[in-house]
Amino acid sequence: MNSVDKKIENKQLVEKFPWLRPFDFFGNEIENYDYSFTILDEIPEGWKIAFGELLAEDIQKVLDEQNIDDFKVLQIKEKYGELRLYHNSAPKEIDKIIHAYSTASANICFHCGKPDVTQSKGYWIWTCCTQCFNKLPMAQHRKYEDEFGDNEYEPMQDEYYYSMFSEKGTIHCSENISEYTTKIRKRYEERMK
């Protein structure tokens, strides 16, 4: 995609999801913003393909329902093999969406977006399918099995777990996120047709 097409696509994204417009380090709008990038460009390409717009649609739905217009994404990136999205503040419904996609990202190839792949077992945590791994320069010196183990298939979790602290002690909780993992798999299947 050439830079003009990319800017047109990004402008359409920002018009649909205004919070995708990037901000400077202090949270101010960037002067003379030319749509050459959006916040979604901060995440690995495979995750962007697999669920970038799905994440944006789900967040925007909550923002619209609750009439929130000051939501800002401060940073979005990969960390420890998972999506990390930091924001100024949002209701718990948005945090649930972010945790759902973060949990799912742990088993999505960050190069091509293929779901249900395993994470590396080495010193660096990342998720990659065998086809993408074999295209990497490191594949000349290592085998996929050395880095990822015996199984390429490792399903996305349909739940994420967290702990809450209260006066009565620690409460261990879980959230069902199967609606998100189902959407990701369906999108992948449609793309492969």
Indicate the burial class of 54 (C-beta count within 10 angstroms; 0-12, 13-18, 19 or more). Answer: middle
DSSP-derived letter for residue 42 is: G
CA atoms within 13 A on the CB side of 77: 5
**What is the pLDDT averaged over residues 51-67?**
97
**What is the pLDDT averaged over residues 50-54?**
96
Q: Higher model confidence: residue 101 or residue 167?
A: 101
Confidence of residue 142 (pLDDT cuts 50, 70, 90): confident
In tens, the pLDDT along 158-168 reads 999 988 888 88
- The owner of tokens 């047109």 is 8
pLDDT at residue 106 greater than cutoff 80? yes
User: Whole-model pTM?
Assistant: 0.92
CA distance 138 to 99: 31
pLDDT at residue 56 greater than cutoff 90? yes
In tens, the pLDDT along 76-88 reads 999 999 999 999 8
**What is the pLDDT averaged over residues 12-35?**
89
User: Which tokens go with 7?
Assistant: 């800017």
Beta-carbon count within 10 A of 177 CB = 21
CB 84 within 8 A of CB 102: yes
CA distance 110 to 136: 13
Q: What is the DSSP string of 1-46?
A: --HHHHHHHHHHHHHH-GGGS-B-TTSPBPTT--SS--GGGGS-HH
